[in-house]
Amino acid sequence: MKKSMLMVLCLIMAMIMFGCKKNEELKIRDSEPFWLNNVIKDESVLIVEENNECFGTLAFIPKKIISIKDSSLQIKYVENKDYVIEENKIIRTKDSKMPYLKKEVLYGINMPENEGLSTQPASQYGIEKGYDKVLYTESAFIFKKQIFVTYEYDKNDAVNYKIPYLGDKMPNTMKILNKGNPLSIVVYGASTSTGCNASGSELISVYGDPNSQYVSWGIEPFGKSFPELFAGELKFNYKSEIELLSAAKGGTTSDWGRQNALTRAYNPDFGYTPDLVLILFGTNDSTLYMKESKFKDNITTIINDIREASNKTVEFILIGGAQTNEDAVQFGKGTNYYSQLNEIANEYEGVIAVDVGAIHKMLLQNKNYADFTANNINHPNDYLHRIYAMVLNAALINYEDE
């Protein structure tokens, strides 16, 4: 009898422990800012092999690993069997089943065949490291090599990541949200704003021209694009219905944005009459070495044109984009033009600027670019899409009041 009772108690304890671990993962929403919690959910890591070492790094030193999963989030790896932890390093064991990539492949050397891989020229930074090219792909090859880590950490280590609440500078948007009324959002920019390379983006564009409607890989875990994540978190917090449309087009610059604002971002004939516009240009502008003054003029014109054409109050969030791969020629000037965006925000009412690039650069102090990308050039993976959304959410949701 005592033995049976002991077995039952052990079973109950095991279930409690498993349940707690599972809840630690599930209670955090995908686009809830990570710096609010002492658990980071599904941080992406690419395990890289070079010189007989095979490891990847976390942004912070973990207190406890809750789970390490494959890109589908379905396969879990086992500590001491598949990996060991040293400080913020995840070291792949010899017989591990965890995916990894040889560093040379990231530079277009000995790339596997039939995986949709190609190369792009190296930047001056890449050349100085001894490489003349870098890996490039729009397939899920890199994404499927990444692992996703949920872990406890000291959130005091993330104090510098905190984004200030800016809702008081967006009176019309916040009035709509605080009343729980429907909010219409349009995202306007280049490829990242179409949803590239989220694993399960369902972001809608009514425009049928090339590079406007991103067709995702449609693979697990079906991660959403940053505009979808942002809209979802707004709906969760404010109970408003969010209408979300994309007016973005891949491969474009702010020049294109200026020329097409009134046929894309604001176009009543196609249902584009936003209350709030998210503007994310800069990646391709930087590649082409666009002057800061020209970029600022383009964004200012977009704002003015939309406001003059609209019969309602339109507010704007100007987004300084994430870092691109400094080893690729697309790195260009290496700027996201945040300084210019912030100047515009200070000059206009109902306009704010947020700097995703600053958050990304801080994360890159302990991590590699390949941890965050799906194409190895300039497209975010699921985790970096979540970072974009976290920054936007922190600007319009006063989490401190929750």
Considering only CA atoms, which of 384, 398, 397, 399 is closest in space to residue 195? 384
Strand partners, 396: none
Q: Is residue 239 part of a domain?
A: yes
Q: Which amino acid is at 307?
A: R
Domain count across the chain: 2
How far does Cα 46 stand from its chain's mean position? 16
Q: Token pair for residue 295?
A: 């970029």
Question: Are 118 and 261 in a shared domain?
Answer: no
* pLDDT of residue 14 exceeding 80: no
Q: Is residue 330 part of a domain?
A: yes
Residues 111-119: contacts with CB under 8 Å, at least 24 apart? 111/135, 115/139, 115/141, 116/141, 117/141
Q: Is residue 285 part of a domain?
A: yes
Question: Averaged over 191-206, what is the pLDDT?
Answer: 98
Q: Is residue 293 part of a domain?
A: yes
What H or E segment, with its residue span, contains residue 135? Answer: strand 133-137
Helices (H), 190-291: 191-194, 226-238, 254-260, 283-287
Q: Is residue 386 part of a domain?
A: yes
| CB distance 391 to 358 below 8 Å | no
| CB distance 258 to 239 below 8 Å | no
How much is the pTM?
0.94
Question: Averaged over 360-379, what is the pLDDT?
Answer: 99
**pLDDT (0 to 100) of residue 7:** 45
Q: What value does the mean pLDDT of the chain take?
A: 95
d(CA 137, CA 11): 47
Residue at which a domain ends, from 142, 174, 195? 142
Rounded to 5 degrees, what are φ and ψ at 133? -155, 170
Q: Is residue 95 part of a domain?
A: no
Q: What percent of the chain has pLDDT over 70?
A: 93
Going by pLDDT thresholds of 50, 70 and 90, the confidence category of residue 400 is confident
Question: Are 230 and 137 in a shared domain?
Answer: no
Residues 216-223: contacts with CB under 8 Å, at least 24 apart? 217/139, 217/140, 217/143, 219/72, 219/140, 220/71, 220/72, 220/73, 220/74, 221/71, 221/72, 221/73, 221/74, 221/382, 223/30, 223/198, 223/199, 223/381, 223/382, 223/385, 223/386
d(CA 359, CA 386): 12
Question: Are 190 and 133 in a shared domain?
Answer: no
Question: Are 198 and 342 in a shared domain?
Answer: yes
| CB distance 216 to 157 below 8 Å | no
Question: Are 282 and 212 in a shared domain?
Answer: yes
Question: Are 130 and 242 in a shared domain?
Answer: no
Question: Averaged over 252-277, what is the pLDDT?
Answer: 99
**pLDDT (0 to 100) of residue 21:** 45
| CB distance 399 to 38 below 8 Å | no
> Percentages helix, strand, coil for the chain, rounded to the nearest 5?
40, 20, 40
Length of the chain: 402
Question: For position 351, which CATH number holds?
Answer: 3.40.50.1110
d(CA 94, CA 261): 54
* pLDDT of residue 5 exceeding 60: no
Question: Are 338 and 369 in a shared domain?
Answer: yes
Q: Is residue 32 part of a domain?
A: no
Q: What percent of the chain has pLDDT over 90?
A: 93
Peptide bond into 197 cis (omega under 30): yes
Distances in whole angstroms, Cα of residue 211 to Cα of each of 136, 214, 282, 328, 360: 18, 7, 17, 21, 25
Q: Is residue 49 part of a domain?
A: no
d(CA 331, CA 129): 15
Question: Are 388 and 270 in a shared domain?
Answer: yes
Q: Give the model confidence (pLDDT) of 273-327 as tens digits.
A: 999 999 999 999 999 999 999 999 999 999 999 999 999 999 999 999 999 999 9
Q: Give the model confidence (pLDDT) of 95-118 as tens digits.
A: 999 999 999 999 999 999 999 999
Could you list the residue range(s) of the whole structural domain that residue 113 is in? 101-142
d(CA 71, CA 143): 7
- Token match 């502008």: residue? 285
| CB distance 278 to 353 below 8 Å | no
